[in-house]
Structure 1
């Protein structure tokens, strides 16, 4: 995907404060064609707009946000339909966790550096204690 196309993906209009949106409005708000929205309704069980007279679809705020999330997974992050479906299912099963503790976790590279660092004593011991504390806090997030 070219840089101009990627830039276009990030520029979505703000969602107006309305209760219901027609499929054409959602199409414009999410930069996705209506036939793609109808297809996604079949593929993603999380996307269920209300249907009224003559099977007209009426999307709510949550539906519009879900369409944007699906669009991001497929178009920006490169997931397949099955991969995006699995990612959304996993996200709905996970308990709400704040991002702050996870952002402080070390990456694989920093953990590897800590493990291969010269035996400097205090610095290495404090790094191991911090890693252990982070891992224990992660374990406490999951029910036993």
Structure 2
């Protein structure tokens, strides 16, 4: 570990809510799900090149699940393990270089129960969610024309 990559303020963080099965999240939803404020997310976008939410009309940000997982990892490194911004950026970049995977694959991802994923109920709910998201996207496209 390089000098200065960690501060002396490591602490235990409160648990975060489960990320819903949804394709896109607004900045306020992302902030709530990740336990940080919206302005912190905007700042981290400048500091961490891996964090790139979709930007639409009016510069509105739309975060995807992999973005939220990355934000949670950044939060854990900064607030939980006491890393500095520079140290956290290096740690995430190093993990990507070593594994050759994108950031979301090196994060600690909770694996869902396989039995639940195979149930018809799970897929029915997933399809309903996707349908709602597609309708929202269609409405966004219609409004921008």
**SS state at 1:75 partner:** helix
Output one character per residue of 1:73-123: Cα deviation in whole Å (capped at 9) or x when no partner: 000000000000000000001127xxxxxxxxxxxxxxxxxxxxxxxxxxx
Written as runs of structure 1 = structure 2, the 5 A alignment for 1:1-144 is 6=12, 9-95=13-99
Structure 2 CA distance, aligned partners of 1:30 and 1:71? Answer: 8
Structure 2 CA distance, aligned partners of 1:52 and 1:85? Answer: 26
User: What TM-score does the superposition give when structure 2 sets the normalisation length?
Assistant: 0.60
Give the drift of 1:10.
3.5
Structure (1 or 2) with the greater helix fraction: 1
Bigger radius of gyration among the two: 1
* Runs of 4+ with deviation above 6 angstroms: none
Higher RCO, 1 vs 2 (CA within 8 Å, ≥6 residues apart): 2
Structure 1 CA distance, aligned partners of 2:99 and 2:22? Answer: 29
User: What TM-score does the superposition give when structure 1 sets the normalisation length?
Assistant: 0.61
What is the aligned residue count? 92
Unaligned stretches of 5+ in structure 2? 1-7, 101-145
